Chains A and B, each alone.
Chain A
Amino acid sequence: MKKLAEKIGTEELLVVVGMNQPSILRIMARTFHDGDPSYAGPLAGIALGLNTYHIFELKNMIPAEVWESEMGMYELEIEDKAREEIFQIMTEARRS
């Protein structure tokens, strides 16, 4: 991933996740933005400055019919408060 970011450049590069567990989301978003928080992996100390989004945050940018067939059921599955938490985590991680 580090190699990919170096090759493509970070300007046009984004990370989009489809994971719903808060602890994993926090680690991933922070890793791509600020470097590996465990200071162990290949991204340790390397701040790529990449922004990470959860796919649910991008709903307005996806054609409605594609969204409905691909994401309709996923949206139903997730409880409202879990969705709010995800939005909050992602916003915070991008701001930091």
Chain B
Amino acid sequence: MLEGKKIMVFGERDDISGKAVCTCLEAAGAEIVYEATACFV
């Protein structure tokens, strides 16, 4: 399902970082088009 998909990623520092989400999605063949990790503190 993820192969070839373009994905926007939103993470949060104290939950799950956007970078970690990206690493997983890229490993599944998706393309990241936008990534942001929020810091609520």
* Touching chains A and B, CB distance < 8 Å: yes
* Residue contact A17 to B33, C-beta cutoff 8 Å: no
Using Cβ atoms and an 8 Å threshold, which residues of chain A touch B17?
18
Range class of the B interface residue count: 20 to 34
* Residue contact A55 to B10, C-beta cutoff 8 Å: no
Say yes or no: is A47 at the interface (Cβ < 8 Å to chain B).
no
A-B contact pairs, 9 of them (CB 8 A): A1-B8, A4-B34, A12-B6, A14-B5, A18-B9, A20-B16, A55-B16, A58-B24, A71-B24
Say yes or no: is B27 at the interface (Cβ < 8 Å to chain A).
yes
A residues neighboring B (CB under 8 Å): 1, 4, 8, 12-21, 24, 28, 50, 55, 58, 61-63, 66-67, 70-71, 74
* Residue contact A61 to B1, C-beta cutoff 8 Å: yes
* Residue contact B23 to A66, C-beta cutoff 8 Å: yes
The distance from the CB of B18 to the nearest CB of chain A, in whole angstroms, is: 6
| CA–CA, A50 and B1, complex, Å | 15
